[in-house]
Amino acid sequence: MANEKKIDYVILGLLSHEELTGYEIKKRMDTTLKYFWGASYGSIYPALNDLVDRGLATRIEDTGSKRNKLIYSITNDGRSYLKKWLTLPVDKDELRYETLLKLFFGNEQGAEQAISHIETFEKKIEKELQYLLNAEKILRKSIDEDTAHKYYLITVEFGIKTYRTYLEWCKEAEKLLADKGE
């Protein structure tokens, strides 16, 4: 019931490309995937245990390093499970922008307050756009090294294009609000 959980697929997807620790998976979530998917430790570590229990991933202790690392790999079953999910139709694409909510009700507090929210949004997007532009540069250089990079690039381009559009919209919205209607 409720929402179907996707974290298993996300982890398997990351493991399909390379072996990772839970900590590294979290890092991927906070950088590469951040723009369209997020997850916390509280969902990652339990999911990893679950995947091992179900035979979709294996865990080995890293004896080579001094740290207490647990390295996860995808199994053949895990890969099949991931592939099957990839063929299924997309279940849900969801956008929840509190900024838009506050703007929608903006008449209650007036233009100044609304503009302030837009400016904050703008700054956040500008910063994230820089990150994506950098990621794009790196990916374009290594596009022929790995067939997977083409797919990564597509999602990065999505982010870059939409963020640029957001910034354009910010300018227009600010103008519309600043204009007192004469």
Partner DNA sequence: CTTACCATGTAAGGCGTTACATGATTCA
Partner DNA sequence: TGAATCATGTAACGCCTTACATGGTAAG
Q: State the binding partner of 5 from DNA, a copy of itself, none, CB within 5 to 8 A by kind.
A: DNA
Q: Which is nearer to a copy of itself, 45 or 85 (CB)?
A: 85
Per CB under 7 A, contacts with DNA among 37-96 are 38-43, 45-46, 48-49, 65-70
Residue 179 to residue 101: CA distance in whole angstroms: 21
How are strands ordered across the β-sheet holding 70-74?
A: 20-21, 70-74, 57-61
Q: Which is nearer to a copy of itself, 61 or 175 (CB)?
A: 175
Overall size of the chain counted in residues: 182
Of 55-63, 65-73, 129-137, 169-177, the segment contacting a copy of itself by CB under 8 A is 169-177
Q: Which is nearer to DNA, 12 or 170 (CB)?
A: 12
Q: Which is nearer to DNA, 38 or 55 (CB)?
A: 38
Residue 5 to residue 38: CA distance in whole angstroms: 12
Which residues on neighbouring strands pair with residue 114, listed in sequence order? none
Residue 29 to residue 107: CA distance in whole angstroms: 36
Residue closest to 10 by CA, chosen among 1, 20, 150: 20
Per CB under 8 A, contacts with a copy of itself among 82-141 are 82-83, 85-87, 89-109, 113-114, 117, 120-121, 124
Per CB under 8 A, contacts with a copy of itself among 44-83 are 79, 82-83
The position carrying tokens 């294996």 is 58
The position carrying tokens 């398997």 is 12
- Binding-site ranges for DNA (CB under 7 A): 1-7, 21-24, 26-27, 38-43, 45-46, 48-49, 65-70
